[in-house]
Chain A
Amino acid sequence: MYLLDVRGLTKHFGGIRAIEDVSFRVREGSIVSIIGPNGAGKTTLFNCLTGLTKPTKGEVHLSDAAITGLPSYRVVALGVARTFQNIRLFREMTVLDNVLVSQHLKIRSGLVAAVIRGKEFLSEEKTAREKAFEYLDFVGLSDSAHIVSSNLPYGDQRRLEIARALATEPVLLLLDEPTAGMNPQETGELMEIIKRLQRLGKTIVLIEHDMKVVMGISETIVVLDHGVKIAEGNPEEIRNDPMVIEAYLGG
């Protein structure tokens, strides 16, 4: 059963071909890595998948729903969440509030309910907080709940991004270089988190440069170079692919 189906995705910025006719499929519950040298179009691909940029051509399907070119808040509602390569937390908000924001779609009460502050509103807020703490617990941050998020150490900020994405209750999680800038120990912890996410039944697509992570956890690897998919396969196949070695792994 394929959860994500990308067909002939193309994105041009003026004369620059950021992505050219990229197709791949992601099986439900699997971990797929996207690798490639800098400027290969990995992040642009993520932006196309999450509705931050409209693809020039091609289609993206999530299960049976076409999500091509939908605005990002609609894509989230259908179950795709992401993190960012250059951490994009709500910096002035507390850790807890960050995770509360991403439960936006789960909370029904509107303006009037917020002003009246009736039973339903309060119970909804309470549930949201409890859930927020669950997600923070999952990444090991519940002790830092009331800290302003920009004051968190770097590694914790990355984990908070994952908790925040998780709180939108996605089926598909797109992680953009989750271990960038982390030390080996933090990287190890993060790999653990990713594996636990898989056990929760989440499907994960990640962009990653750390080959130990990529080879260690992914079932399928997609290799991009200059916007074109040059290889796809399991870690063993990718390791021995001559084109990949030439373009990226460098022997």
Chain B
Amino acid sequence: MKGLNQFFIVLWFSILFLPFTGIKASLMLFTLLSSCVLLFRVFMKYGKGVREGVRRLRKRMDGVKMNPSTRPIVFSLLAGCLFCLPFIAQNYLLDISILAGIYAILALGLNIVVGFTGLLNLGYVAFYALGAYTYALLNVKVGLGFWQALPLGIGLTGLAGFILGVPALRLKGDYLAIVTLGFGEIVRLVLNNWDSLTNGPNGVSGISPPYLFGMPLGILNRYYYLVLLALIVTYGVVGRVHESKIGRAWIAIREDEISASTMGINTTRYRLYALVFGSLWAGLAGALFAAKMQFVSPESFTFMESVLILSMVILGGLGSLPGVVVGAVILVMLPEVLREVQSYRMIALSVGLIAMMIFRPQGLLGGLAKGR
């Protein structure tokens, strides 16, 4: 019976896509998905050896993660690879890597709010936009350099998080999600309509790249190192806070707010901390984005962007630091890989996410974070 069920799901899916893709593509989708389901079932039934192998591999992977002595080795290997990338990669790959790095910072920041503390924030892009515009405007209109503008941008983003958080954190669950969604839209609309300051939909152009000791970092491989450094700092700081009493308090709030408050945690205050501390990183990522593009416009900060960042966090595994970085990298790389099938890639992405929810709801690396 279960097989029949899956068959109907596939059929339903194909019919759903009929209006968008036409009969031919829809039939292809149906055939493809059916064979996938069939293969999967055969694999589950007869592939005992394979399954056993996968299980053992996963167990060993868990072992690697949990064993603290192998962690530095894995990290330094990874760092080495990342460091060498500009020497072997072409500009195209480097460009995407920079973008992936910026998104990884965003995902790490949002993960504090959504993954650790369990507050659904659908307006995270607003903080990203604030960070980007702060640097853009301070640079173009005031003439501040990247390093002077950066702390101001981060500070302003944190302040915005505070201003949003004080009233919004009285709400919970879906209501909080709606308020943050609204906040995201408000920020975008203000940027779009405040012509005298933000130049409206035309955006701000002519933003200068950062300089380091008089050396411009605008060239891709130099900029790559700047983003890599920012990512490592973000990862390190977030990771350390995660493993302190603050991180534990956040997770406790996510798990059971009432219980957390009877353990001495001022839950309102810690929810606010999470929102503010999570927003800071969007400020950093925004400044990096503006300095890389040398141009910002409200178009880059739509609601879809919030959804994308949230997808990274969910795909990688709520609450897992390596997970959300992997999620960010995958979701930035994926459209590039799927460039050939341009018009279907949103479908592929959504099917992928749905499949994830069914087969691995905790996210790609979600399970590993538990036993830390």
What is the interface of chain A, defined by CB distance below 8 A to chain B? 50-52, 71-73, 75-77, 81-82, 84, 88-94, 97, 100-105, 107, 109-111, 113-115, 117, 121, 125, 146, 148, 164, 168
Do B245 and A90 touch across chains, with their CB atoms under 8 A apart?
no
Residue of A nearest to B242 (CB): A114
Which A residues lie within 8 Å of B244 (CB)?
109, 111, 113-114, 121, 125
B365 to chain A, nearest CB (A): 15
Given contacts A148-B370, A148-B371, contact A93 B252 (CB under 8 A): yes
Q: Is the CB of A111 within 8 A of B256?
A: no
Cα–Cα, bound, A93→B263 (Å)? 15
A81 to B277, CA, bound (A): 29
Verify A117–B248 contact, CB threshold 8 A.
no
Residue picked from A97, A100, A104, A113, most chain B C-beta under 10 Å: A104
**B181 interface residue (CB < 8 Å to A):** no
B78 in contact (CB, < 8 A): no
Contact of B262 among A52, A93, A97, A115 (CB under 8 A): A52
- Beyond A88-B256, A90-B255, A91-B255, 11 additional pairs, beta carbon < 8 A: A72-B261, A88-B258, A90-B256, A90-B259, A92-B251, A94-B371, A101-B260, A111-B246, A114-B244, A121-B244, A148-B371
With contact pairs A101-B249, A114-B240, A114-B244 given, residues A94 and B370 touching in the complex (Cβ less than 8 Å): yes
B240, B252, B259, B370: residue with the most chain A Cβ atoms closer than 10 Å: B259
Pairs A–B under 8 Å by Cβ, sample size 22: A52-B261, A52-B262, A71-B261, A72-B262, A73-B261, A73-B264, A73-B266, A76-B264, A82-B262, A90-B255, A91-B255, A93-B251, A97-B248, A100-B248, A101-B251, A101-B260, A101-B265, A102-B264, A110-B246, A111-B241, A117-B240, A168-B263
Q: Is B263's CB under 8 angstroms from A102's CB?
A: yes
Which residues of chain A have C-beta atoms less than 8 A from B249's C-beta?
A: 101, 104
Measured between beta carbons, the chain A residues less than 8 angstroms from B258 are: 52, 88
Please report the C-alpha to C-alpha distance between residue A91 and residue B118 in the assembled complex, in whole angstroms.
14
B267 within 8 A of A: yes
Q: A109-B245, A115-B237, A121-B244 are in contact. Are A81 and B252 (CB under 8 A)?
A: no
A89 to B260, CA, bound (A): 9
Q: A110-B246, A114-B244, A121-B244 are in contact. Are A90 and B251 (CB under 8 A)?
A: yes
Q: Are B259 and A88 in contact (CB under 8 A)?
A: yes
Is the Cβ of B256 less than 8 Å from the Cβ of A104? no
Q: Please report the C-alpha to C-alpha distance between residue A168 and residue B262 in the assembled complex, in whole angstroms.
A: 9
Known contacts being A100-B248, A148-B371, is A115 close to B264, with CB within 8 Å? no
Bound state CA distance, A71 and B263, in angstroms?
12
A76 and chain B: residue at smallest CB distance: B264
Kindly provide the distance from the CB of B32 to the nearest chain A CB, expressed in whole angstroms: 36
CA distance A107 to B248 in the complex (A): 12
Q: How large is the interface on B (under 10, 10 to 19, 20 to 34, 35 or more residues)?
A: 20 to 34
A54 to B248, CA, bound (A): 27
Residue of A nearest to B238 (CB): A115
The answer to whether B262 touches A81, judged by C-beta atoms less than 8 angstroms apart, is yes
Contacts of B245 in A (CB 8 A): 100, 103-104, 107, 109, 114
The answer for the CA separation of A94 and B237 in the assembled complex, in Å, is 22
Q: How far is the CB of B93 from chain A (nearest CB, A)?
A: 32
Interface residues of B: mostly helix, strand, loop or mixed?
A: helix
Assembly CA distance A75 to B249 (angstroms): 17
Structural contact, B241 and A93, CB atoms closer than 8 A: no
Going nearest first, the 8 A-B pairs with the smallest beta carbon separation are A114-B244, A90-B255, A102-B263, A76-B264, A105-B264, A88-B259, A72-B261, A107-B245
Binding site for A on B (CB under 8 A): 237, 240-241, 243-249, 251-252, 255-256, 258-267, 277, 370-371
Which chain A residue lies CB-closest to B269? Answer: A73
Nearest residue (CB) in B for A50 is B262
B226 CB, min distance to chain A CBs, angstroms: 21
Distance in angstroms between the alpha carbons of A143 and B265 in the assembled complex: 27
A152 vs chain B, min Cβ distance (A): 14
Nearest Cβ distance between residue B17 and chain A, in whole angstroms? Answer: 36
Instruction: Please measure, in the bound complex, the distance between the C-alpha atom of A93 and the C-alpha atom of B248, giving whole angstroms.
Output: 9
Q: CA separation between A50 and B370, bound complex, in Å? A: 30
CB contact between A73 and one of B246, B256, B267 (< 8 Å): that residue: B267
Question: In the complex, how many angstroms separate the beta carbon of A120 from the nearest chain B beta carbon?
Answer: 12
Q: Kindly state the separation between the CA atoms of A72 and B265 in the bound complex, as whole angstroms.
A: 9
Q: Is the CB of A168 within 8 A of B264?
A: yes
Minimal Cβ-Cβ distance residue in A for B251: A93
| Least CB separation from A107: chain B residue | B245
B266 touches A93 (CB 8 A): no
Nearest chain A residue, comparing its CB with the CB of B256 = A88
Q: Which of A51, A88, A94, A104 contacts B265 (CB 8 A)?
A: A104
What are the residues of chain A within 8 A of B247 when measuring CB–CB?
Answer: 114
Is there contact, CB below 8 Å, between A89 and B259?
Answer: yes
Would B241 and A76 count as touching, CB distance under 8 A?
A: no
Cβ of A101 and Cβ of B252 under 8 Å apart? yes
A91 contacts across to B, CB distance below 8 A? 255-256
Which residues of A lie under 8 Å from residue B266 when comparing CB positions? 71, 73
Closest to B372 in A: A94
A92 near B255: Cβ-Cβ < 8 Å: yes
Q: Please measure, in the bound complex, the distance between the C-alpha atom of A178 and the C-alpha atom of B240, giving whole angstroms.
A: 36
A146: chain B residues at CB < 8 Å are 371
Cβ–Cβ < 8 Å partners of A51 in chain B: 261
- Nearest CB to that of A81 among chain B residues? B262
Select the residue from B245, B246, B256, B261 with max chain A CB neighbours within 10 A. B245
What separation, in Å, do the CA atoms of A103 and B237 have in the docked complex? 22
Q: Which of A73, A110, A117, A164 has the most CB of B within 10 A?
A: A73
Given contacts A52-B258, A89-B259, A114-B244, contact A77 B264 (CB under 8 A): yes
